[in-house]
Amino acid sequence: MPAMPSEPLTDASATQRGDTPGWPEVAAGLLGLAIVGYGGGILISRMPLDPIVIGLIFTALSGIGGLAGFMAAYWLRIRSWPAFGVRRTTARWMLMGVGAGIAAFVLKSLSILGYLALTGDQSNPQEIYAIGASGGLWTVMLATLFMTLLTPLGEELLFRGVVTTALLRYGPLVGVVGGALIFALFHGINLVFPAALVTGLIAGEIFRRSGSVWPAVAVHAVVNLPTIPVMVLASAAQ
């Protein structure tokens, strides 16, 4: 990617002009995610489809829902890609995103162990992803592709590009922590919550510092990459 200097995501004059996302974009984005991601999931689960097909669709839905939410926010008022952090970045920032993703994966794993030790709650709403990947090598590859590319793209565009950008007008702490908390809450209070919170915090800070959503996508992609293979191996070992 061509180099581009890092820039602040928000400034006072831009906020006053309405050139940066605000609460209307946050509301439109989260509503779009709820309608497409969660509403679509309810409809799909009631259809007479093969469980593997349903599992694959569910694996793709978080990314599709995120993209739908982002586009709803984008078309609402501003219609400017850079305003949502969709701007060029440097190879250095992308490598930093990969390194931060490795750190996030380690911390995510520790946070899950801590959650299990504190609550004993082993319910995992993402087990349906393992069902989607249970149809052989091609389903493992397809589900991994969804988790590693589609989900990070959709969720980072929405939760960092829209939500975190809007909250950064209240300062870095509110922007990064608030965005991560909303991101984690949309995953539900379960085994995934602490993992989503850790990922959101690290992706949010990388996003804030780089001025671009792409290093945050790299963080998320690295965190998600082992998810499907690990689930498939765990299911085979049972």
Nearest by Cα to 154 from 24, 10, 32, 7: 32
Q: How far apart are the first and last CA of the chain?
A: 44
* pLDDT of residue 3 exceeding 80: no
- DSSP codes of every residue in 91-127: HHHHHHHHHHHHHHHHHHHHHHHHHHHHH-----TTH
pLDDT for 2 beyond 90: no
Angle 48-146-166 from CA coordinates, rounded to 5°: 110
Kindly report the CA angle at 227 between 164 and 118, in degrees rounded to 5?
75
Q: What confidence tens digit (pLDDT) does each residue in 169-188 have?
A: 999 999 999 999 999 999 99
Summarised one tens digit per residue, pLDDT across range 206-235 is 999 999 999 999 999 999 999 999 988 877
232: helix, coil or strand? Answer: helix
What residue spans define the domains of the chain? 12-82+91-237
CA dist., res. 28 & res. 190, Å (int): 25
